[in-house]
Amino acid sequence: MILGLDISTSITGATILDDDGNIVVNVAWDTRKYKNFFVKAEYIYNQLKDINYPINKVYIEQSLQSFRSGFSSAKTLSTLSRFNGIVSWMAYKLFEVEPEYIAAISARKAVGIIVPRGTKAKQCVIKYIIDNVPNVSIAYTKYGNVKPDCYDKADSWVISRAGYLRCLNQS
């Protein structure tokens, strides 16, 4: 089974796919209420520890490597990178599998999600999920907006699916 993770200090998405690429689990773990970095990490550890499936591959969205105007600050990138490393290590220890990293752009491309220039990737991913992946539930606010955790669930599916396709190509 494949575990795909979209790691963040606010909401972490996790998807488990079976050997045929079908969704077994698709969840989001919300850590926004925890202000302490290590309490957030411990919460994610407990969620990972509760996975009762034989995980033999772990794919993780590669953390951002560079600055882009109008996006994350150096402090934010550093915090995300540290958190990604901690969760990667936890997954390694719990599942005894070395995680593989996939860049978000590469994962979207592998799955067949096209992001036109000037369009937000998250919107394209959600549209693709709604149109093509019925087992990822998308919930809406009372104002009709997609709930924040749904983006992370969708992104974790993209990572796990890209990992699944990578496995198929290697066999």
The 10 Å Cβ neighbour count of residue 87 is 23
How far apart, in whole angstroms, are the C-alpha atoms of residue 121 and residue 128? Answer: 11
Tokens of 56: 């033999």
* Long-range contacts of residues 120-124, Cβ cutoff 8 Å, at least 24 apart: 122/151, 122/154, 122/155
State the pLDDT at residue 67: 46
- Nearest-CA neighbor of 53 among 4, 106, 113? 4
pTM, rounded to two decimals: 0.90
User: Within its chain, how far is the Cα of 5 from the centroid?
Assistant: 4
State the pLDDT at residue 69: 47
State the pLDDT at residue 71: 52
DSSP readout, 67-120? --TTS--HHHHHHHHHHHHHHHHHHHHHH----EEE-HHHHHHHHT----TTS-
Ordered by start, the domain boundaries in the chain are 2-170
- Nearest-CA neighbor of 96 among 58, 41, 50? 58
Which CATH number is 2-170 given?
A: 3.30.420.10
159 within 8 A of 4, measured Cβ to Cβ: yes
Residue by residue, pLDDT tens for the chain (171 residues) are 999 999 999 999 999 999 999 999 999 999 999 999 999 999 999 999 999 999 999 999 987 554 444 455 677 778 888 999 999 999 999 999 999 999 999 999 999 999 999 889 999 999 999 999 988 889 999 999 999 999 999 999 999 999 999 998 886
